[in-house]
Structure 1
Amino acid sequence: MRCAIPDLPNDTFASQGRWHDALVNASIPWDSGDQTFDQCKVRDILDGRHNETVPCEKWVYDKQSFKRTFVTSVSI
């Protein structure tokens, strides 16, 4: 699981190509301790500085092991 990229309606956990990887790397802080992308914060790239973070509003999930879970099935 990681934060979804804001304003990218078709964001997925799986890579959609180099453009997507670059956008994830620019938007989601890396947690070097866990070796994963941050699950709670996303960079506020609209501020032009790329160093401010804000809480996630949406998440994307790795569907490699489970195609569907209770969390991904619930609609808010």
Structure 2
Amino acid sequence: MLQQARHYGAAEQRSCPHYQNRVRAMCQRRLLAGVLSDYHEETEQASHGGHTDRCGHLPAMHADPPLRTG
């Protein structure tokens, strides 16, 4: 399924609820693991006018490397 998703544009990927759920789950795992710091979230929000998702990343940042499970 991930192989197939790569053939679609980033906007189509971000609009797919399955893709969004995977991104949210990945971000949640990173937050729980302490990978994303408060400093990172604050600087991302400040530098992009607050248009970031819950983990502090812009949605576009999730579209490019394919998500890995493991």
TM-score by length of 1: 0.27
From the two aligned structures, give the one with the greater strand fraction: 1
What is the TM-score normalised by the length of structure 2? 0.28
Give the structure with the higher percent helix: 2
